[in-house]
A and B are shown apart, each in its own frame.
Chain A
Amino acid sequence: MTSGPPRRVVVVGASAAGLAATETLRRDGYDGALTLVGSEKHLPYDRPPLSKQVLTGQWPVERTALRGPADLDALDVVLRLGVPAAALSAAGRTLTLADGAELAYDGLVVCTGVRPRRLAPSGTAGLHVLRDLEDAVVLRDRLAAGRRLVVVGGGFLGTEVSAAARALGAAVTLVEPSAVLLADALGHQVGAHLAQVHREQGVDLRTATAVAGITAEEGRVTGVRLADGTVLPADDVVTAIGSLPNTEWLRGSGLGVADGVECDEYSAAAPGVYAAGDVARWLNPLFGTRMRIEHRTNAAEQGMAAARNLLHPQESRPFAPIPYFWSDQYDVKIQAYGMLRGSSQAQVVEGDPTDGRFLVAYRSGETLTGVLAIGIPPRTLRRWRTAVADRTAWQDALTMA
Protein backbone atom coordinates (compact mmCIF):
# COMPACT_ATOMS: atom_id res chain seq x y z
CA MET A 1 0.00 0.00 0.00
CA THR A 2 1.13 3.48 -0.67
CA SER A 3 0.73 6.15 1.92
CA GLY A 4 1.34 9.85 1.73
CA PRO A 5 0.65 11.98 -1.30
CA PRO A 6 0.47 10.32 -4.73
CA ARG A 7 3.59 10.50 -6.94
CA ARG A 8 2.22 8.77 -10.03
CA VAL A 9 -1.20 9.79 -11.30
CA VAL A 10 -2.85 8.46 -14.43
CA VAL A 11 -5.97 9.98 -16.00
CA VAL A 12 -7.82 7.75 -18.49
CA GLY A 13 -9.95 9.52 -21.11
CA ALA A 14 -8.55 12.64 -22.79
CA SER A 15 -11.67 14.73 -23.12
CA ALA A 16 -13.53 17.32 -21.04
CA ALA A 17 -13.48 15.46 -17.72
CA GLY A 18 -9.97 14.09 -18.14
CA LEU A 19 -8.56 17.46 -19.11
CA ALA A 20 -10.26 19.16 -16.15
CA ALA A 21 -8.80 16.53 -13.78
CA THR A 22 -5.32 16.89 -15.30
CA GLU A 23 -5.33 20.68 -15.12
CA THR A 24 -6.70 20.72 -11.60
CA LEU A 25 -4.00 18.38 -10.34
CA ARG A 26 -1.30 20.76 -11.54
CA ARG A 27 -3.18 23.86 -10.46
CA ASP A 28 -3.50 22.41 -6.96
CA GLY A 29 0.22 21.85 -6.77
CA TYR A 30 0.64 18.20 -7.70
CA ASP A 31 4.20 17.96 -9.05
CA GLY A 32 4.59 14.20 -9.50
CA ALA A 33 4.36 12.14 -12.68
CA LEU A 34 1.18 12.68 -14.67
CA THR A 35 -0.05 10.63 -17.63
CA LEU A 36 -3.15 11.24 -19.72
CA VAL A 37 -4.32 8.22 -21.71
CA GLY A 38 -6.85 8.61 -24.53
CA SER A 39 -8.14 6.24 -27.16
CA GLU A 40 -8.63 9.03 -29.71
CA LYS A 41 -5.61 10.36 -31.55
CA HIS A 42 -6.69 14.00 -31.12
CA LEU A 43 -5.69 16.42 -28.44
CA PRO A 44 -8.69 17.09 -26.17
CA TYR A 45 -11.54 18.67 -28.12
CA ASP A 46 -15.05 19.67 -27.27
CA ARG A 47 -18.15 17.69 -28.23
CA PRO A 48 -21.09 20.13 -27.93
CA PRO A 49 -20.07 22.09 -31.07
CA LEU A 50 -20.06 18.83 -33.08
CA SER A 51 -23.85 18.78 -33.40
CA LYS A 52 -23.99 22.56 -33.82
CA GLN A 53 -21.20 24.67 -35.34
CA VAL A 54 -19.24 21.74 -36.82
CA LEU A 55 -22.25 20.07 -38.42
CA THR A 56 -23.43 23.30 -39.99
CA GLY A 57 -19.94 24.10 -41.21
CA GLN A 58 -19.75 27.36 -39.22
CA TRP A 59 -16.60 26.18 -37.45
CA PRO A 60 -13.56 24.45 -38.86
CA VAL A 61 -12.84 21.39 -36.72
CA GLU A 62 -9.67 22.96 -35.24
CA ARG A 63 -11.89 25.37 -33.40
CA THR A 64 -13.19 22.57 -31.16
CA ALA A 65 -9.75 22.14 -29.56
CA LEU A 66 -10.08 22.66 -25.82
CA ARG A 67 -6.49 23.85 -25.33
CA GLY A 68 -3.61 24.87 -27.51
CA PRO A 69 -0.45 22.73 -27.63
CA ALA A 70 1.37 25.31 -25.48
CA ASP A 71 -1.21 25.03 -22.70
CA LEU A 72 -0.84 21.25 -22.75
CA ASP A 73 2.97 21.47 -22.76
CA ALA A 74 2.81 23.65 -19.70
CA LEU A 75 1.00 20.87 -17.84
CA ASP A 76 4.07 18.64 -18.06
CA VAL A 77 1.87 15.65 -18.78
CA VAL A 78 2.80 12.51 -20.70
CA LEU A 79 0.13 12.12 -23.40
CA ARG A 80 -0.66 8.57 -24.50
CA LEU A 81 -3.10 9.32 -27.28
CA GLY A 82 -4.52 6.85 -29.76
CA VAL A 83 -4.13 3.97 -27.35
CA PRO A 84 -7.02 2.80 -25.18
CA ALA A 85 -6.67 1.54 -21.65
CA ALA A 86 -7.37 -2.20 -21.82
CA ALA A 87 -7.34 -3.48 -18.25
CA LEU A 88 -7.04 -2.37 -14.66
CA SER A 89 -6.10 -4.04 -11.41
CA ALA A 90 -7.37 -1.84 -8.60
CA ALA A 91 -5.73 -4.12 -6.02
CA GLY A 92 -2.35 -4.10 -7.79
CA ARG A 93 -2.67 -0.45 -8.83
CA THR A 94 -1.66 -1.11 -12.40
CA LEU A 95 -3.21 -0.09 -15.66
CA THR A 96 -2.58 -1.98 -18.89
CA LEU A 97 -2.86 -0.24 -22.24
CA ALA A 98 -3.93 -1.87 -25.49
CA ASP A 99 -0.35 -1.75 -26.77
CA GLY A 100 0.75 -3.85 -23.80
CA ALA A 101 2.30 -1.01 -21.78
CA GLU A 102 1.81 -1.32 -18.02
CA LEU A 103 1.47 1.81 -15.92
CA ALA A 104 1.79 1.61 -12.17
CA TYR A 105 -0.09 4.37 -10.38
CA ASP A 106 -1.00 5.53 -6.93
CA GLY A 107 -3.78 7.77 -8.16
CA LEU A 108 -6.16 7.11 -11.05
CA VAL A 109 -9.03 9.10 -12.53
CA VAL A 110 -11.38 7.26 -14.90
CA CYS A 111 -12.99 9.58 -17.47
CA THR A 112 -13.80 7.25 -20.38
CA GLY A 113 -17.21 8.72 -21.20
CA VAL A 114 -19.91 6.97 -23.17
CA ARG A 115 -20.46 5.75 -26.71
CA PRO A 116 -23.65 5.72 -28.77
CA ARG A 117 -26.07 2.83 -28.60
CA ARG A 118 -26.56 1.46 -32.09
CA LEU A 119 -29.57 0.11 -33.92
CA ALA A 120 -27.44 -1.87 -36.34
CA PRO A 121 -23.74 -2.68 -36.51
CA SER A 122 -21.62 0.06 -38.08
CA GLY A 123 -20.22 -0.52 -41.54
CA THR A 124 -23.19 0.50 -43.68
CA ALA A 125 -22.43 3.68 -45.61
CA GLY A 126 -24.80 6.49 -44.75
CA LEU A 127 -25.64 5.08 -41.32
CA HIS A 128 -24.33 7.48 -38.71
CA VAL A 129 -23.96 8.04 -35.02
CA LEU A 130 -22.57 11.29 -33.61
CA ARG A 131 -20.08 11.23 -30.79
CA ASP A 132 -16.63 11.90 -32.21
CA LEU A 133 -15.03 14.48 -34.44
CA GLU A 134 -14.83 11.96 -37.30
CA ASP A 135 -18.56 11.22 -37.01
CA ALA A 136 -19.34 14.92 -37.29
CA VAL A 137 -17.11 15.51 -40.29
CA VAL A 138 -18.49 12.53 -42.22
CA LEU A 139 -22.06 13.62 -41.53
CA ARG A 140 -21.35 17.29 -42.29
CA ASP A 141 -20.00 16.38 -45.70
CA ARG A 142 -23.16 14.40 -46.51
CA LEU A 143 -25.74 17.00 -45.54
CA ALA A 144 -26.91 19.51 -48.13
CA ALA A 145 -30.02 20.89 -49.76
CA GLY A 146 -32.03 18.17 -51.42
CA ARG A 147 -30.53 15.36 -49.31
CA ARG A 148 -32.90 13.22 -47.29
CA LEU A 149 -31.96 12.62 -43.67
CA VAL A 150 -33.85 10.42 -41.22
CA VAL A 151 -32.98 10.94 -37.57
CA VAL A 152 -33.93 8.11 -35.23
CA GLY A 153 -34.39 9.32 -31.65
CA GLY A 154 -35.81 12.64 -30.51
CA GLY A 155 -33.59 13.39 -27.53
CA PHE A 156 -31.21 16.35 -27.37
CA LEU A 157 -28.78 14.92 -29.87
CA GLY A 158 -31.48 13.93 -32.37
CA THR A 159 -33.21 17.28 -32.17
CA GLU A 160 -29.95 19.24 -32.51
CA VAL A 161 -28.91 17.19 -35.53
CA SER A 162 -32.33 17.78 -37.08
CA ALA A 163 -31.98 21.52 -36.55
CA ALA A 164 -28.47 21.60 -38.03
CA ALA A 165 -29.56 19.56 -41.05
CA ARG A 166 -32.52 21.86 -41.67
CA ALA A 167 -30.16 24.84 -41.54
CA LEU A 168 -28.26 23.19 -44.39
CA GLY A 169 -31.47 22.70 -46.36
CA ALA A 170 -31.70 18.92 -46.04
CA ALA A 171 -35.12 17.26 -45.88
CA VAL A 172 -35.38 15.90 -42.34
CA THR A 173 -37.66 13.26 -40.88
CA LEU A 174 -37.34 12.79 -37.13
CA VAL A 175 -38.67 9.54 -35.70
CA GLU A 176 -39.34 9.30 -31.98
CA PRO A 177 -40.89 6.23 -30.35
CA SER A 178 -42.56 8.07 -27.46
CA ALA A 179 -45.69 10.16 -27.89
CA VAL A 180 -44.06 13.55 -27.26
CA LEU A 181 -40.56 14.74 -28.13
CA LEU A 182 -38.25 14.98 -25.10
CA ALA A 183 -41.19 14.42 -22.75
CA ASP A 184 -39.28 11.95 -20.57
CA ALA A 185 -36.50 14.41 -19.99
CA LEU A 186 -38.38 17.72 -19.91
CA GLY A 187 -42.06 17.03 -19.36
CA HIS A 188 -45.05 17.10 -21.68
CA GLN A 189 -45.47 20.83 -22.12
CA VAL A 190 -41.87 21.66 -22.99
CA GLY A 191 -41.75 18.64 -25.28
CA ALA A 192 -44.87 19.75 -27.11
CA HIS A 193 -43.46 23.26 -27.50
CA LEU A 194 -40.20 21.99 -29.00
CA ALA A 195 -42.10 19.61 -31.28
CA GLN A 196 -43.98 22.62 -32.61
CA VAL A 197 -40.72 24.52 -33.18
CA HIS A 198 -39.30 21.63 -35.21
CA ARG A 199 -42.47 21.30 -37.27
CA GLU A 200 -42.45 25.02 -38.04
CA GLN A 201 -38.88 24.65 -39.24
CA GLY A 202 -39.99 22.00 -41.69
CA VAL A 203 -39.01 18.81 -39.87
CA ASP A 204 -41.32 15.89 -40.69
CA LEU A 205 -41.82 14.81 -37.09
CA ARG A 206 -43.11 11.28 -36.47
CA THR A 207 -43.75 10.72 -32.80
CA ALA A 208 -45.17 7.54 -31.27
CA THR A 209 -43.47 5.74 -34.14
CA ALA A 210 -41.48 2.58 -33.58
CA VAL A 211 -38.53 1.76 -35.80
CA ALA A 212 -38.14 -1.85 -36.95
CA GLY A 213 -34.79 -1.48 -38.68
CA ILE A 214 -32.60 0.08 -41.32
CA THR A 215 -32.88 -0.77 -44.99
CA ALA A 216 -29.76 -0.91 -47.14
CA GLU A 217 -28.67 -1.89 -50.61
CA GLU A 218 -25.15 -2.75 -51.66
CA GLY A 219 -23.76 -1.63 -48.34
CA ARG A 220 -25.43 1.77 -48.41
CA VAL A 221 -28.40 2.95 -46.38
CA THR A 222 -31.65 3.41 -48.29
CA GLY A 223 -34.09 4.12 -45.51
CA VAL A 224 -35.67 3.33 -42.18
CA ARG A 225 -38.31 0.65 -41.82
CA LEU A 226 -41.05 1.43 -39.31
CA ALA A 227 -42.89 -1.13 -37.22
CA ASP A 228 -46.01 -0.74 -39.38
CA GLY A 229 -44.02 -1.71 -42.47
CA THR A 230 -43.65 1.79 -43.93
CA VAL A 231 -40.20 2.61 -45.23
CA LEU A 232 -38.93 6.19 -44.93
CA PRO A 233 -36.46 6.62 -47.79
CA ALA A 234 -33.18 8.25 -46.82
CA ASP A 235 -29.76 9.12 -48.17
CA ASP A 236 -28.46 9.19 -44.62
CA VAL A 237 -29.70 7.96 -41.26
CA VAL A 238 -28.51 9.21 -37.89
CA THR A 239 -29.34 7.10 -34.86
CA ALA A 240 -29.39 9.04 -31.62
CA ILE A 241 -30.93 6.53 -29.25
CA GLY A 242 -28.91 6.94 -26.11
CA SER A 243 -25.50 5.87 -24.95
CA LEU A 244 -23.56 3.21 -23.08
CA PRO A 245 -20.77 3.95 -20.58
CA ASN A 246 -17.29 2.88 -21.69
CA THR A 247 -16.59 0.47 -18.84
CA GLU A 248 -15.86 -2.85 -20.60
CA TRP A 249 -12.16 -2.37 -20.03
CA LEU A 250 -12.84 -2.37 -16.28
CA ARG A 251 -14.19 -5.92 -16.25
CA GLY A 252 -12.36 -7.85 -13.56
CA SER A 253 -10.70 -4.67 -12.26
CA GLY A 254 -12.34 -4.78 -8.85
CA LEU A 255 -14.33 -1.59 -9.49
CA GLY A 256 -18.12 -1.68 -9.29
CA VAL A 257 -19.63 -1.18 -12.70
CA ALA A 258 -23.35 -1.00 -13.42
CA ASP A 259 -24.42 1.61 -15.96
CA GLY A 260 -21.27 3.55 -15.18
CA VAL A 261 -18.45 3.39 -12.65
CA GLU A 262 -20.01 3.18 -9.20
CA CYS A 263 -18.69 5.98 -6.96
CA ASP A 264 -19.43 7.32 -3.52
CA GLU A 265 -20.33 10.94 -2.81
CA TYR A 266 -16.66 11.91 -3.18
CA SER A 267 -16.52 10.46 -6.71
CA ALA A 268 -14.28 7.70 -5.35
CA ALA A 269 -14.61 4.22 -6.84
CA ALA A 270 -11.84 2.47 -4.85
CA PRO A 271 -8.87 3.60 -2.75
CA GLY A 272 -6.91 6.01 -4.95
CA VAL A 273 -9.38 5.61 -7.84
CA TYR A 274 -11.92 8.25 -8.86
CA ALA A 275 -14.27 8.61 -11.80
CA ALA A 276 -15.69 11.71 -13.47
CA GLY A 277 -17.89 12.86 -16.31
CA ASP A 278 -20.32 10.86 -18.43
CA VAL A 279 -18.95 7.52 -17.23
CA ALA A 280 -19.34 8.15 -13.47
CA ARG A 281 -22.36 7.18 -11.41
CA TRP A 282 -22.11 8.74 -8.00
CA LEU A 283 -24.23 9.70 -5.05
CA ASN A 284 -25.19 13.37 -5.25
CA PRO A 285 -25.85 14.34 -1.64
CA LEU A 286 -27.76 17.46 -2.67
CA PHE A 287 -30.56 15.33 -4.07
CA GLY A 288 -29.79 12.17 -2.07
CA THR A 289 -29.78 10.13 -5.28
CA ARG A 290 -27.28 8.25 -7.38
CA MET A 291 -26.92 9.89 -10.77
CA ARG A 292 -24.90 9.69 -13.96
CA ILE A 293 -24.98 12.93 -15.91
CA GLU A 294 -24.14 13.45 -19.56
CA HIS A 295 -23.69 17.22 -19.50
CA ARG A 296 -20.67 19.20 -20.53
CA THR A 297 -20.43 21.32 -17.39
CA ASN A 298 -20.66 18.28 -15.14
CA ALA A 299 -17.65 16.76 -16.88
CA ALA A 300 -15.50 19.77 -15.94
CA GLU A 301 -16.89 20.12 -12.42
CA GLN A 302 -16.54 16.46 -11.58
CA GLY A 303 -13.09 16.16 -13.15
CA MET A 304 -12.04 19.03 -10.92
CA ALA A 305 -13.68 17.58 -7.80
CA ALA A 306 -12.21 14.12 -8.37
CA ALA A 307 -8.71 15.54 -8.82
CA ARG A 308 -8.97 17.53 -5.59
CA ASN A 309 -10.25 14.60 -3.57
CA LEU A 310 -7.52 12.38 -4.99
CA LEU A 311 -4.87 14.90 -4.04
CA HIS A 312 -6.23 15.77 -0.59
CA PRO A 313 -8.11 12.68 0.68
CA GLN A 314 -8.11 13.98 4.26
CA GLU A 315 -10.02 17.06 3.13
CA SER A 316 -12.34 15.18 0.80
CA ARG A 317 -15.42 17.15 -0.17
CA PRO A 318 -18.66 15.57 -1.38
CA PHE A 319 -19.42 16.33 -5.01
CA ALA A 320 -22.86 17.91 -4.80
CA PRO A 321 -23.44 19.93 -7.96
CA ILE A 322 -26.64 21.36 -9.34
CA PRO A 323 -26.68 19.79 -12.80
CA TYR A 324 -26.74 22.32 -15.64
CA PHE A 325 -27.20 21.86 -19.35
CA TRP A 326 -27.95 23.87 -22.42
CA SER A 327 -29.05 23.01 -25.92
CA ASP A 328 -29.17 25.16 -29.06
CA GLN A 329 -31.71 24.40 -31.78
CA TYR A 330 -32.38 26.96 -34.54
CA ASP A 331 -32.41 30.22 -32.60
CA VAL A 332 -33.89 28.56 -29.52
CA LYS A 333 -31.64 28.30 -26.50
CA ILE A 334 -32.67 25.87 -23.79
CA GLN A 335 -31.03 26.04 -20.38
CA ALA A 336 -31.79 24.01 -17.30
CA TYR A 337 -30.63 23.57 -13.72
CA GLY A 338 -31.29 20.70 -11.36
CA MET A 339 -33.07 17.39 -11.82
CA LEU A 340 -35.85 17.38 -14.37
CA ARG A 341 -36.22 13.75 -15.30
CA GLY A 342 -38.55 11.79 -13.07
CA SER A 343 -40.15 14.85 -11.49
CA SER A 344 -43.76 14.62 -10.37
CA GLN A 345 -44.87 17.95 -11.83
CA ALA A 346 -43.68 20.62 -14.23
CA GLN A 347 -45.34 24.02 -14.28
CA VAL A 348 -44.83 27.19 -16.29
CA VAL A 349 -44.03 29.88 -13.71
CA GLU A 350 -42.84 32.76 -15.90
CA GLY A 351 -43.59 33.83 -19.46
CA ASP A 352 -45.72 31.98 -21.93
CA PRO A 353 -44.86 29.08 -24.25
CA THR A 354 -46.97 30.60 -27.04
CA ASP A 355 -44.52 33.52 -27.41
CA GLY A 356 -41.49 31.26 -27.04
CA ARG A 357 -40.18 32.75 -23.79
CA PHE A 358 -40.93 30.89 -20.61
CA LEU A 359 -39.60 29.26 -17.50
CA VAL A 360 -40.77 25.91 -16.16
CA ALA A 361 -40.31 24.73 -12.57
CA TYR A 362 -40.10 21.02 -11.71
CA ARG A 363 -40.85 19.39 -8.41
CA SER A 364 -40.24 16.10 -6.69
CA GLY A 365 -42.50 15.63 -3.69
CA GLU A 366 -42.87 19.03 -2.06
CA THR A 367 -39.48 20.38 -3.18
CA LEU A 368 -38.39 22.44 -6.19
CA THR A 369 -35.81 20.22 -7.92
CA GLY A 370 -35.25 21.87 -11.28
CA VAL A 371 -35.94 24.74 -13.68
CA LEU A 372 -35.83 25.02 -17.43
CA ALA A 373 -35.81 28.23 -19.43
CA ILE A 374 -36.37 29.02 -23.07
CA GLY A 375 -35.66 32.56 -24.23
CA ILE A 376 -35.29 33.86 -20.65
CA PRO A 377 -32.35 36.12 -19.71
CA PRO A 378 -29.74 34.27 -17.65
CA ARG A 379 -29.98 36.75 -14.79
CA THR A 380 -33.52 35.59 -14.14
CA LEU A 381 -32.38 32.01 -14.30
CA ARG A 382 -29.63 32.51 -11.71
CA ARG A 383 -32.22 33.30 -9.05
CA TRP A 384 -33.89 30.01 -9.78
CA ARG A 385 -30.61 28.14 -9.63
CA THR A 386 -30.17 29.45 -6.10
CA ALA A 387 -33.69 28.34 -5.26
CA VAL A 388 -32.93 24.81 -6.47
CA ALA A 389 -29.67 24.77 -4.50
CA ASP A 390 -31.53 25.88 -1.38
CA ARG A 391 -33.99 22.99 -1.76
CA THR A 392 -36.84 25.51 -1.76
CA ALA A 393 -40.31 24.23 -0.90
CA TRP A 394 -42.56 23.97 -3.97
CA GLN A 395 -45.19 26.29 -2.51
CA ASP A 396 -42.56 28.98 -1.86
CA ALA A 397 -41.08 28.52 -5.33
CA LEU A 398 -44.46 29.22 -6.89
CA THR A 399 -44.51 32.67 -5.28
CA MET A 400 -41.03 33.55 -6.61
CA ALA A 401 -42.00 34.51 -10.13
Chain B
Amino acid sequence: MRVEVEQPKCVASGQCVLAAPDVFDQDDEGIVEMLTDRPGADRYEDVKEAAALCPAAAIRLVSE
Protein backbone atom coordinates (compact mmCIF):
# COMPACT_ATOMS: atom_id res chain seq x y z
CA MET B 1 0.00 0.00 0.00
CA ARG B 2 1.14 3.48 -0.88
CA VAL B 3 0.20 6.71 0.88
CA GLU B 4 -0.40 9.93 -1.04
CA VAL B 5 -0.82 13.37 0.43
CA GLU B 6 -2.20 16.41 -1.30
CA GLN B 7 -0.21 19.20 0.28
CA PRO B 8 -2.22 22.11 -1.20
CA LYS B 9 -5.29 20.80 0.63
CA CYS B 10 -3.56 20.36 4.00
CA VAL B 11 -4.85 22.71 6.72
CA ALA B 12 -1.99 21.95 9.12
CA SER B 13 -4.16 20.34 11.77
CA GLY B 14 -1.60 17.72 12.71
CA GLN B 15 -4.19 14.96 13.12
CA CYS B 16 -2.08 12.68 10.92
CA VAL B 17 1.02 13.16 13.07
CA LEU B 18 -0.96 12.30 16.20
CA ALA B 19 -2.29 9.13 14.59
CA ALA B 20 0.90 7.92 12.84
CA PRO B 21 3.97 9.91 13.94
CA ASP B 22 6.35 7.57 12.12
CA VAL B 23 4.63 8.13 8.78
CA PHE B 24 3.67 11.80 8.81
CA ASP B 25 5.41 14.98 9.88
CA GLN B 26 4.68 18.68 9.48
CA ASP B 27 6.96 21.42 8.18
CA ASP B 28 7.36 24.76 9.94
CA GLU B 29 4.15 26.02 8.39
CA GLY B 30 2.39 22.89 9.57
CA ILE B 31 2.01 21.40 6.10
CA VAL B 32 2.09 17.62 6.01
CA GLU B 33 5.27 15.84 4.98
CA MET B 34 5.67 12.14 4.42
CA LEU B 35 8.35 10.28 6.31
CA THR B 36 7.61 7.25 4.19
CA ASP B 37 5.03 6.65 1.50
CA ARG B 38 5.24 2.88 1.92
CA PRO B 39 4.62 2.14 5.57
CA GLY B 40 4.87 -1.44 6.80
CA ALA B 41 1.73 -3.53 7.04
CA ASP B 42 1.75 -3.15 10.82
CA ARG B 43 1.22 0.59 10.30
CA TYR B 44 -1.82 0.31 8.01
CA GLU B 45 -4.39 0.71 10.78
CA ASP B 46 -2.84 3.93 12.08
CA VAL B 47 -2.44 5.32 8.59
CA LYS B 48 -6.09 4.57 7.83
CA GLU B 49 -6.99 6.30 11.05
CA ALA B 50 -4.93 9.33 10.01
CA ALA B 51 -6.65 9.46 6.62
CA ALA B 52 -10.06 9.22 8.25
CA LEU B 53 -9.26 11.95 10.77
CA CYS B 54 -7.63 14.38 8.35
CA PRO B 55 -10.05 17.32 8.27
CA ALA B 56 -8.95 18.25 4.76
CA ALA B 57 -9.29 14.82 3.17
CA ALA B 58 -5.70 15.31 2.06
CA ILE B 59 -4.50 11.75 2.68
CA ARG B 60 -5.23 8.86 0.36
CA LEU B 61 -4.30 5.23 0.55
CA VAL B 62 -3.60 3.57 -2.74
CA SER B 63 -3.44 -0.20 -2.88
CA GLU B 64 -1.19 -1.53 -5.55
Contact = CB atoms under 8 A, between A and B. Distances in A.
Contacts of B11: 48, 326, 328
A358 interface: no
Nearest to A300: B53
Contacts of A67: 57
A297 B52 contact: no
B57 A382 contact: no
A362 to B, nearest CB: 19
Interface residues of B, number: 19
Interface string B10-34: 0111110110000000101110000
Contacts of A63: 9
B3 to A, nearest CB: 15
A27 B30 CA distance: 28
Contacts of A251: none
A43 to B, nearest CB: 12
B21 to A, nearest CB: 10
Interface in A299-345: 300-301, 304, 324, 326, 328, 333, 335
Interface in A38-96: 46, 48, 63, 65-67
A382 B17 contact: yes
A20 B51 CA distance: 10
Contacts of B17: 378, 382
Contacts of A24: 52
Contact of B12 (A66, A300, A335): A335
Contact of A377 (B15, B18, B30): B30
A296 interface: yes
Given A27-B48, A333-B30, A378-B30, A297 B55 contact: yes
B5 interface: no
Contacts of B13: 297, 324, 326, 335
A378 B14 contact: yes
Interface in B25-64: 26, 28-30, 48, 52-57
Contact of B55 (A23, A300, A382): A300
Interface residues of A, number: 26
Contact of A382 (B9, B14, B29): B14
A27 B52 contact: yes
Interface in A279-299: 296-297
Contacts of A27: 48, 52
A297 B56 CA distance: 9
A333 B55 contact: no
A296 B58 CA distance: 14
B57 A66 contact: yes
Best-buried of A66, A326, A381 by chain B (most CB within 10 Å): A326
A65 to B, nearest CB: 8
A301 B17 CA distance: 15
Nearest to B15: A297
A365 to B, nearest CB: 27
A301 B53 contact: yes
Nearest to A295: B55
A198 B57 CA distance: 29
B40 to A, nearest CB: 19
Nearest to A45: B57
Given A333-B30, A379-B26, A20 B15 contact: no
B63 to A, nearest CB: 11
- What are the 10 A-B residue pairs with the smallest beta carbon separation, nearest first? A378-B30, A296-B55, A297-B55, A66-B57, A378-B26, A377-B28, A378-B14, A300-B53, A326-B11, A23-B52
10 contacts: A296-B55, A297-B53, A300-B15, A301-B53, A326-B12, A335-B13, A377-B30, A378-B14, A378-B26, A382-B17
